[in-house]
Structures are given as structure tokens and as C-alpha cells.
Amino acid sequence: MHGLRVTCFKIPNRCCLHRELMEVAGSLQTELVQAAADRGSLEQELAASRLAVERAERDGRQEASRLQAEVAALRQRLDRADADLMHSRRENLRLADQIASLEREVCPARNITGAL
């Protein structure tokens, strides 16, 4: 009988151990499923972030290109304004010379008419 009691005692321990192992295995499977779901979510987030970075880089390049074109246009306008200013200064000098020449012609004539 003594041998039967030991065998009966060992069988429930094996059942308990088996049940505990099954619970642990179930828990680990649940964690694995959750980890896989988390990984999938993170991979989607990573893909979305990469797309956002690519879009931001593309937008940045477009903006830089637009700004370079605007700077080039402004430089052209500035160059034209400088050329117009130089032309106006030359014209101003030419007119000042003409005025001075005319005044020299008028002053002797005034002196002559004033002396009469």
C-alpha cells in the first residue's frame, strides 16, 4: 500500500506541474501575440514617419528651389534698378552741364541788355 500512496501522491504533483506549465505557456503565448501586435503597430508608425520625413524633405527642396528663383528674380530687378540709376545719374550730369552752358550764354546776354 505504501507504494500506491507514493504513486498517487506523485500523480497529482505531475498534474499540478503540467497545469502550471500550461498556464505559463498560455501566458507566454499571450505576451507573444501582444508583442507581435505592438511590433506591427510600431512598424506602421515607422513607415508613416519615414513617409512624413520624405514628404518634408521634398517640400524643403521645393521651398529652397522657389526661394532661389525668387532671389534670382530680385537680383535681376536690383541689377536693372542699378542700371536705371546709373543712366539717370548720367542724364542728370548731362542736363546739369547743359543748364550751366545755357546760363553762361544767357548771363553775357543779360549783361549786354542790362548795360543798354
Please name the residue that has the C-alpha cell 503565448: 29
Angle formed at CA 10 by CA 7 and CA 13, multiple of 5 degrees: 155
pTM for this structure?
0.54
Which 3 state secondary structure label does DSSP give 60?
A: helix
* DSSP secondary structure letters along 78-115: HHHHHHHHHHHHHHHHHHHHHHHHHHHHHHHHHHHHHH
Tell which wins on pLDDT, 19 or 48: 48
* pLDDT, tens only, 40-99: 999 999 999 999 999 999 999 999 999 999 999 999 999 999 999 999 999 999 999 999
